[in-house]
Chain A
């Protein structure tokens, strides 16, 4: 009786764990419920369990041609090179001012870089306000002087041209011609110090390797 119940429970186990194959010690005992217990080979399949596949069967790995692999590598390299060229080209072009977000490095450090607010005395504030007024007055003065000077220049030139016209129409017409040579001339303004005579400008970084013989 006991052996019979053992047989039945054995069969139940096997049906439950369908992936498991359990070695049968006595091939004589054959359960009528399960055909899986039948082993046709002499060495029975041993106990093994596969990893959890979550329902997805594994793909078969195809063998890739080495030539195809090389092609893929070169394609990737070319793509990166193309991107670099594009960056270089667009990097030189300046962004419109509205799109500029400022230096990201400094923006990240902005809390660190806040300056402690300056404390102005009353006298200093007054001095600054008065200086500002004085400056604006002097700038107005400068502007009226410049405007008067420029107007005087134009009047003198007009008078000279009137005289020339009075003298000779032909000369006057030659004088009012546009001077094409002036278009495109470049003039440099004054600097803080005069240019050094015979100065040799060294271009770029260099290491002086002249041998000195003492």
Chain B
């Protein structure tokens, strides 16, 4: 069969003993099979696989649950993230390779000319022709670079790490500029107060998105500017009311994503007492576990 396949060599006959050695290496963990590669163990992949396997929650008659809209208001990153070590190394290598395959620029040509003129001048001095050339008539490459550096120094860009970072002011939007921040609000739901996304029940004649917009305005103030991303909710959470309270069975919360544009958050004292802007990692410090589980699926920092 092998002679009919072009560019194909028959496999070399392996000596007897090596097979069992290889198998031993697989067993001991020195060698990995291709499907055991590291990337299959990443969080997002595991999360995705779990999600696919699990089924949705609600299997009860409609109308028993209170429909609640919540707003996941995100302040997107303002500055780019720092490069990782590998990214920095690769960027340096690419820059080096590009330089090696490029042509000489005007600045480099100028530098070469300067050197040639210097060498000539030195030669003339050695030969002692006696006629000195006028110095300073030529603008050298280094002169130009100095002038450009001086011009660039006149402009100082804003700092990447702001005051809010240093004070660790969790109420400020200027805090972690390279990561997305999400708004958490302290709401009294029933007896206790929880740190949640601003939420409120849907009223008659509203769609869920309109309810979400109203909730944001009421709880956080009229001046907060937000761009809602579509009419469809991005996530879902369900919780039961305590049976003693006899308000109903529970609530179904539909989350709506919105990008934060401008404005200070002024919490309305009735429903929300306090607020804070928090990164995705810091959420686990404040929210309950089942809530986090529902939220984590749609909070993405790509």
Contact = CB atoms under 8 A, between A and B. Distances in A.
Interface of A: 106, 110, 112-115, 117-118, 128, 131, 134-135, 138, 140-141, 144-146, 148-149, 151-153, 155-157, 159-164, 166-168, 171, 174-179, 182, 185, 187, 190-197
B128 interface: no
Contacts of B207: 171, 174-175
Contacts of B63: 167
B100 to A, nearest CB: 4
A131 B89 contact: yes
B227 interface: yes
Contacts of B109: 112-113
Q: How many B residues are at the interface, by size bracket?
A: 35 or more
Interface stretch (B1-9, B37-45, B263-271): B37-45
Contacts of A192: 79-80, 157
B105 to A, nearest CB: 8
Given A110-B103, A191-B79, A160 B235 contact: yes
Interface string B53-76: 000111000110101000000001
Contacts of B58: 163, 166-167
Contacts of B300: 149, 153
A191 B231 contact: no
B234 A194 contact: no
Given A118-B100, A135-B90, A144 B45 contact: yes
B178 interface: yes
A162 B57 CA distance: 10
Contacts of A151: 48
Interface stretch (B28-36, B132-140, B251-259): B251-259
A24 B47 CA distance: 128
Contact of B302 (A112, A141, A149, A167): A149
B249 to A, nearest CB: 13
Nearest to B162: A194
B54 to A, nearest CB: 9
A131 B93 contact: yes
B158 interface: yes
A128 B209 CA distance: 52
Contacts of A155: 48, 51-52, 297
Interface in B101-118: 102-104, 109
A190 B80 CA distance: 5
Contacts of A157: 232-235, 298
A176 B104 contact: no
A162 B67 contact: no
B80 A195 contact: no
B86 A163 contact: no
Interface in B170-218: 174, 177-178, 207-209
B208 A176 contact: no
Given A144-B42, A167-B65, A190-B78, A156 B236 contact: yes
21 contacts: A113-B109, A128-B97, A135-B86, A135-B90, A145-B45, A146-B44, A148-B42, A149-B44, A153-B298, A153-B300, A157-B233, A160-B234, A163-B236, A175-B233, A177-B231, A179-B228, A179-B231, A191-B79, A192-B79, A195-B158, A196-B157
A45 B300 CA distance: 112
Contact of B90 (A131, A182, A190): A131
B119 interface: no
A152 B51 contact: yes
B45 to A, nearest CB: 4
A182 B259 CA distance: 12
Contacts of B160: 193-194
A164 B45 contact: no
Contacts of A118: 100
Which of A113, A148, A155, A161 gathers the greatest number of chain B CB atoms within 10 Å?
A148
A201 to B, nearest CB: 11
B39 A161 contact: no
B230 interface: yes
B155 to A, nearest CB: 10
A1 to B, nearest CB: 85
Contacts of A171: 67, 207-208
B290 to A, nearest CB: 15
Contact of B47 (A135, A148, A166, A197): A148
B224 to A, nearest CB: 17
Nearest to B48: A148
Contact of B79 (A149, A175, A194, A197): A194
